Amino acid sequence: MSQYVSRLSSTFMAPRIRFPGGHRKPRRIAMLSVHTSPLHQPGTGDAGGMNVYIVELAKRLAAINIEVEIFTRATAGGLPPVVELDPGVLVRHVDAGPYEGLAKEELPGQLCAFTHGVMQAWAGHRPGHYDLVHSHYWLSGHVGWLAAERWGVPLVHAMHTMAKVKNAALADGDVAEPASRVIGETQIVNAADRLIANTAEEADELVRFYEADPAKVAVVHPGVNLDRFRPADGRAAARARLGVPQNAFVPLFAGRIQPLKAPDIVLRAVAQLLVREPSLRARMYVPIVGGPSGSGLARPEGLQKLAARLGIADIVHFHPPVGQELLADWFRAASTLVMPSYSESFGLVAIEAQAAGTPVIAAAVGGLPVAVRDGRTGILVDGHDPSDYAAALHRLLLDPGLVTRMGAEAARHAEHFGWDTAAAATADVYTAAMCERRRRVRSQHV
């Protein structure tokens, strides 16, 4: 591991990154999100933390005078070609393939059409319209690679998830990522001028699994909207608004319902807890907030059937994905958020819940050990044995004061993850990539 990545890993939030050379930050960037639109509701289909990441980052970049144009695939007829998401942030819908019925796994076949749409938009501008390309996820990376080469600008890429990492920790019933994705990711890692990793562990995985040049990897933690996700008027008021019993113990699952996120472990842990102490049933209220996604679409009713088989259907309450304001209320209402994921590049939901003053029980995987401070803002669990999650729930049940103390510490912890800090650090990565490209071009002409 390079000294560069190791130095970043020792910090709580990656420091402002400094590189020698010029200091002009970009005026306008092309941001690419092929397979999921920033306008889609997180928790539905393939929309999740990456959608929140792109929206919040784009808004904060615009606030520091970096205009952002987000290219995404049109998924419905009649969509306007361009939508203003916020001042300085445009969303451009690109026609590429059928609007409906196209699975994410089929999207590689539409990358040529998507690239054509991006190039058509670029052709309508004067040369130099975009200073840089920032692509998200490997599908966007391939479009970004071609666009950056054609425009003569740097490519900055964020993986968000990696095939080799996911395949190393598959959940039961999940499907391995194909070799074509692994090859595609390897090509992008080699082509990018800079790679943004959410955590030092992800930076290490880029080097270890994909042989990334450590000098190209920058660690920038995602942020949280601290104006939206905050303790506000407290747990009692949130429960009153949501119709949740005031005296209930509420372990919340919030996210896409798919094997990777392991919502089944939440149900199994609750069932084991009630077998051990049946008297707790009267106090349990288990909300599952989110919709089927990915491989979970194969059996969209699977979690409901599992709750029935476990004999806890009466205390499990399923809710469709909700907007950010209502999601913040669910976090406030919860006794704890439970995240038993098999893989998380960061775990944005964990930071959002903590910002709302709620402790988190999470698997010690990916970026979750950065997001959650074990024993202080929540409990990290090694592995995915439901009995271990039942034990963590029982610990919080036995000591209501612990929920309060951890919740207060969680809110303070989350304050370090504001989006303004993330946007400033990302802008530094952009500036470094532009400086290096200018130096490279100058050296070629000497």
Q: Is 301 annotated as a binding residue?
A: no
Reported as half-sphere exposure (CB side, CA atoms, 13 A), residue 407 has a value of: 24
Encoded amino acid at 20, one letter:
P
At 2, is the secondary structure helix, strand, or coil?
coil
For residue 98, the SS3 value is coil
Query: What is the β-pairing status of strands 82-86 and 89-94?
Result: antiparallel
With beta carbons less than 8 A apart as the criterion, state whether 75 and 56 touch: no
- Tell me the three state secondary structure of residue 366: coil
67 is in an annotated binding site: no
331 is in an annotated binding site: yes
141 known member of a binding site:
no
Angle separating helix axes 200-210 and 179-191, nearest 10 degrees: 110
Is 50 annotated among the ligand-binding residues? yes
Tokens of 236: 């009692």
Residue 256 assigned as binding residue: yes
**Residue of 305, 304, 303, 366 lying closest to 339 (CA atoms):** 366
Answer yes or no: is 129 a known binding residue.
no
Q: What is the DSSP letter of 211?
A: -
Distance CA 234, CA 306 (A): 32
Question: Is 332 annotated as ligand-binding?
Answer: yes
Residue 59 counted as an annotated binding residue: no
For the chain, what is the total number of helices (H) and then of strands (E)? Answer: 16, 14
Cα separation, 367 vs 247, in Å, equals: 33
CB 336 within 8 A of CB 390: no
Is 232 part of any known ligand binding site?
no
Asked if residue 318 belongs to a known ligand binding site, the reply is no
Query: Is 190 among the annotated ligand-binding positions?
Result: no
What residue type is 252 in one-letter code? Answer: L
Q: Which helix (H) or strand (E) holds 260?
A: none
11 is in an annotated binding site: no
Tokens describing residue 150:
């054609």
Q: What is the DSSP letter of 418?
A: B
128 labelled as ligand-binding? Answer: no
The reply to whether 160 sits in an annotated binding site is no
The reply to whether 99 sits in an annotated binding site is no
The amino acid occupying position 14 is A
Is there a binding annotation on residue 104? yes
Instruction: Tell me: is residue 53 an annotated ligand-binding position.
Output: no
d(CA 330, CA 317): 12
Question: Would the annotation count 181 as a binding residue?
Answer: yes
- Gap between the Cα atoms of 128 and 92, Å rounded: 18
Structure tokens at 312: 């806890």
The reply, when asked if residue 35 is annotated as ligand binding, is: yes
Cα 39–Cα 45–Cα 46 angle in degrees, nearest 5 = 75
48 is in an annotated binding site: yes
Does 60 carry a binding-site annotation?
A: no
Q: Which residues are annotated as part of the binding site for 1D-myo-inositol 3-phosphate?
A: 35, 46-51, 104, 137, 161, 181
Q: Which residues are annotated as part of the binding site for UDP-N-acetyl-alpha-D-glucosamine?
A: 41-42, 49, 256, 261, 322, 344, 352
Q: Which residues are annotated as part of the binding site?
A: 35, 41-42, 46-51, 104, 137, 161, 181, 256, 261, 322, 331-332, 334, 344, 352, 358
Q: Which residues are annotated as part of the binding site for Mg(2+)?
A: 331-332, 334, 358
